[in-house]
Amino acid sequence: MYFLSEMEHKLLIHKLLPTAREVGVNPELRGWNWHQAPLKPYYDEKAPMYAICSKYCPTDRDIYLSQVKKAKPQLNYDVTLGKILHGVVSDSLQALIGGEPIEFERWWENVRWEGLAGDREELKGKARLVWQYVTGLCHARTLQVASEQPYMARRDVLATSMPFLVEHKISGALLGLSDILSLDCYDYLHSIMFDLKVEAKREDWHRLSPVGYAMVFESVHEVPIDVCCTLYVSFKEGKVLVNKDLFFANNDLRSWWIEERDRKLEIIAQKKDPGTPNACGESCIYRKSCRGD
Ligand code: SF4
């Protein structure tokens, strides 16, 4: 899932990394400068990464409802599919990286359905396709690495062929985020922060989340992360489609993330109801708490 194609490797090596080296990142926008402006948070309140980076609600009232009023979301099919596929990708990959693959059917039996919505057979079909996609790619990559290095230990083959920290737990407290964040994937050999989106139309603001995680990683581990990637998974005629937005985590994106964080932490800290817009999307998961319909 998180492997780069040949074309993406070319983009990384001949465009993104040279740009990152030439243009650079303003030192005050590196996560390790969390203790001074502009990264230093104004408020003591903490928020999850999805609240900082989400732009589903035009006025950010969803943040007020979820973080101040503690409203419960009503999950729809799309959100359920997203949750299940995040689980499929992380659990299948973690099992493979740990050297103890598990069977899809066994995994499916343990899905917890409380609060989830949608046709289970349809969801299962898509989950199985993604499971097969991930395990098939990983298997091929492991065989390739093992065939190139005859004296590599099994553990090293796995760590080199699948260089991914998946669902890595990290504290975002230094940047005003909750201290139990879980990032989708960090490729530690290529230093790329990934964020997974399911059946989503590409939007500029989708870049905020991996950039936020990159800065959190910089704040905790003090290593620079210059490249991020939003990975889009969708389906067409029974096939899994994977599309990647690979980009340089530049000053503009970092500043945009800080603006979002500051505005949303202000809503939370000051318990400020931003009000409703003229029109709301039908699929808003806080619609019931917000508008009562
Ligand atoms: S119903 Fe509208 S105003 Fe309320 S949270 Fe959803 S998008 Fe925002």
Spacing, Cα 206 to ligand 1 middle (Å)? 19
Contact residues of ligand 1, CB 6 A cut-off: 57, 59, 61-62, 65, 276-277, 280-281, 284, 286-287, 290-291
Q: What is the distance in angstroms between the CA of the first residue and the CA of the last residue of the chain?
A: 38
Q: Give, for ligand 1, the residue of 62, 67, 76, 273 to mutate: max count of ligand atoms closer than 8 Å to Cβ.
A: 62
**Which tokens belong to 204?**
């500029």
Strands 239-248 and 181-187: unpaired
CB 162 within 8 A of CB 199: no
Give this prediction's pTM. 0.95
**pLDDT by position in tens, the chain (length 293):** 899 999 999 999 999 999 999 999 999 999 999 999 999 999 999 999 999 999 999 999 999 999 999 999 999 999 999 999 999 999 999 999 998 989 999 999 999 988 888 889 999 999 999 999 999 999 999 999 999 998 999 999 999 999 999 999 999 999 999 999 999 999 999 999 999 999 999 999 999 999 999 999 999 999 999 999 999 999 999 899 999 999 999 999 999 999 999 999 999 999 999 999 988 877 899 998 998 76
At residue 205, the pLDDT reads: 97
Question: Which residues, including other chains, have CB under 8 Å from residue 195's CB and lie 6 or more apart?
Answer: 183, 184, 206, 209, 210, 213, 228, 229, 230, 231
At residue 117, the pLDDT reads: 86
**Which tokens belong to 63?**
């943040």
At residue 74, the pLDDT reads: 92
The CA distance from 85 to 196, in Å, is 9
CB 84 within 8 A of CB 111: yes
Instruction: Map tokens 């299962």 to a residue.
Output: 124
